[in-house]
Amino acid sequence: MSAQSPAGAPGRVDVVGRSPAQLAPLDPLAERVVHRRRRYAWARRMKLAWAGVVILTIVALLAVAAPLIAPYEPAAVSLGDRLKPPGTPGHLLGTDPLGQDVLTRVIYGARISLFVGFVVVAISGALGITLGLVAGFYGSLVDDVIMRIAEIQLAFPNIILYVAVMAVLGPGLDKVIVVMGVVGWVTYSRIERGMVLSTKEREYVQAARALGAPNHRLIVRHILPNTLGPITVVASFALATTIITEASLSFLGLGVQAPTATWGNLLQEAQTLDTMLHMPWRWIAPGAAIAITVLSINFIGDGLRDALDPRMQIK
C-alpha cells in the first residue's frame, strides 16, 4: 500500500481515491449548469414520450376507424389493378399480385396487431400479477412452486415455445392470443413478487395487519396499488414485444392467416427476392408500420420509466 500524505496536505486522497477538491460541493454556477443539463435531458425524454403517445394514438384511431377511412375492402380482389406502383390514382401505396390495395391492408393490419398486443398484455399481466402477489405474500411452498415453474419456462426462449405450441395447435387469431397470453406471465410475476416482498414489510401494511385487516384486504388495498408502477413500465415494453412476436408468427405462417390482413402476413407475402427487389412497396409499408408503432411504444415506455422513478425527478 502506498504511503499517504499527512492530513490536510495537498496530495492527500481519501479511501476511494478522490481528493478533497473533488469531494467539495459544486459552486452555485456549476450547480445551475448541471441542473439545466438534467432538465434538458428530462424534457427531451418527455418530448419523445409525448411524440410516442401521439403516434400510437393516430395508429389506434386508424385501426378503429378502418372501415370508415380505408379506400377499399381488405379482401377485395381486382386483377385489372394488380401490381400497381405507389402513387397510382386510387392506390396511394400500390397494390399486390391480386390487385388488393396495400394501404387498405396495412390499415386493417393495424387492427389485428394492436388488438393482439393489448389483449395478450392484459392476459399475461393479469396472470403474472396474480401469481406474483400470491408467491410474494404467502411465500413458503406456494412461492417455491410458482418460482420453479417460472424458472423452467425461462429455460426456453419464448419464440421457441410459441413456434412449438402453434405448430401443434395450428394457426389462428384466437390461438395466437391464448398461447402468447399464457406464456408471457413470467416477467410480470417475478417483478410483482419482488415488489410484494419489499412492500409487505412496510409500516402501513404492518399497521393494517395489526388492526385486523384480512389478507385479501392487505393485498388489494395496501400492497397491489403500491406495486403497479414498475408493472406499468414492463407492460408498455411487453406491448411492443408482443406486436413484433405476432408479426413474426404470422410471417412464419403460424399466426393469423390470409385473407385476414396483418402486418406479419403482409411481409410473408412479400418475402420473395423478386418482390423485394422490384416491388419494394409491398414490404416497406408493413415494415414501416411495425417499426413506427414499436418505436412509439418504446418512447412511451421510456417516459413512464422516468416519470415513475423518483431518482429521475428534476426539481
Tens-digit pLDDT profile for residues 220-266? 888 888 888 889 889 999 999 999 999 999 888 888 887 888 999 89
For the chain, percent of residues with pLDDT exceeding 90: 35
Contacts of 42 (CB under 8 A, 6+ apart): 306, 312, 314
Mean pLDDT of 35-54: 74
Is 314 in contact with 36 (CB distance < 8 Å)? no
> Of residues 192 and 29, which shows the higher confidence score?
192
Per-chain mean pLDDT for the chain: 83
pLDDT digits (tens, 9 = 90+) for 92-115: 898 888 889 999 999 999 999 999
Predicted pLDDT at 41: 63
For the chain, percent of residues with pLDDT exceeding 70: 83
The candidate with the shortest Cα–Cα distance to 134, out of 228, 202, 220, is: 220
- How far is the CA of 15 from the CAs of 11, 46, 157, 245, 265, in angstroms? 13, 39, 45, 50, 61
| Whether the predicted pLDDT of 5 surpasses 50 | no
List, in order of start, the domains of the chain with CATH numbers.
36-312 (1.10.3720.10)
pLDDT digits (tens, 9 = 90+) for 170-224: 888 888 999 999 998 999 999 999 999 888 888 888 888 888 888 888 888 888 8
Is 23 in contact with 271 (CB distance < 8 Å)? no
Positive or negative, the CA dihedral 108, 111, 116, 117 is positive
